[in-house]
A = this chain, B = another copy of it.
Amino acid sequence: MLKYQQIANEIETYIKEHELQQSDKLPVLETLMTQFEASKSTITKSLDLLEKKGVVYQVRGSGIFVRRHKRKGYISLFSNQGFAKELEGYHLTSEAIELEVRKPTEEVAHNLNIGLDDDIYYVKRVRYINGQTLCLEESFYNKSIVTYLNKEIISDSIFNYISEGLGLKIGFSDLYLRADKLEEEEAKYLGLQKGDPKIYVESIFHLTNGQPFDFSKISYNYEQSHFLIQGTSHFL
């Protein structure tokens, strides 16, 4: 972790521990520079990172303020760290249903930007939050990037394994979200009725170099899935 990331983490921890509220003002740049023994450009990068993460907002000529509207139990859809990291404080478990190496369909090949002859890992899981079903997940990993998976890994956090086990850098993601009615098989896995609402998300995760490595189709239990989406201003 680079110094500005470390400082950003420390500022975020400080905000949490001191229960700072929305629009509470942070110390000025000069104070933060002294406190963290860091240059102006390092502190600026830390603050830009926290702004991207929706932790603070900066008002030109006025200062840096805490941004905290987060409601308990809402999952941030901005997170690239996987749900396990996002849902600290919750008990998240995964039940592996299927794991195999196969060839991609045209849809999967298109979304992963690979050929029909390339290998993928197919992973099917049910994920639970505090013992309740959270979602049914089908994921397709480009095997030339995510070179190895096993039942033990997919029963835990795959993203944690990808970044820490394989040392890959997870970058940006595209999520396509809509609501629909549950199919019979999905309802069975989620413990709901056929025709009940679902949030259906298709997502593509990329490495920082732009390569897509994970295409997923996820059906969420509507009773358990509350999402927070933070928009940052494009005009700062």
Residues of chain B lying within 8 A (CB to CB) of residue A49: 234
Q: Is the CB of B179 within 8 A of A71?
A: no
Interface size on A, residues (CB 8 A): 56
Q: Is the CB of A233 within 8 A of B80?
A: yes
Q: Is the CB of B235 within 8 A of A172?
A: no
Q: Is the CB of B74 within 8 A of A176?
A: yes
The digit string for A197-236, where 1 denotes a CB below 8 A from any CB of B, is: 1110000101011100000000010100111111111111
Q: Is the CB of A79 within 8 A of B231?
A: yes
Residues of chain B lying within 8 A (CB to CB) of residue A230: 172-175
Q: Quote the shortest CB–CB distance from A109 to chain B (angstroms).
A: 14
* A171-B57 in contact given A226-B177, A228-B176 (Cβ < 8 Å): yes
- Let me know if A67 is at the binding interface, CB within 8 A: yes
Q: Is the CB of A231 within 8 A of B181?
A: no
User: CA separation between A176 and B78, bound complex, in Å?
Assistant: 12
- Let me know if A121 is at the binding interface, CB within 8 A: no
- Let me know if A5 is at the binding interface, CB within 8 A: yes
Residues of chain B lying within 8 A (CB to CB) of residue A23: 113, 210
User: CA separation between A229 and B173, bound complex, in Å?
Assistant: 8
16 contacts between A and B (CB under 8 A): A52-B52, A53-B234, A57-B171, A57-B210, A59-B209, A71-B176, A80-B233, A172-B230, A175-B231, A179-B220, A179-B222, A180-B222, A197-B198, A197-B222, A199-B199, A208-B236
A residues neighboring B (CB under 8 Å): 5, 22-23, 49, 52-54, 57, 59, 62, 65, 67, 69, 71, 74, 77-80, 113, 169-181, 196-199, 204, 206, 208-210, 220, 222, 225-236
6 tightest A-B contacts by CB? A197-B197, A179-B222, A173-B231, A175-B229, A171-B233, A179-B197
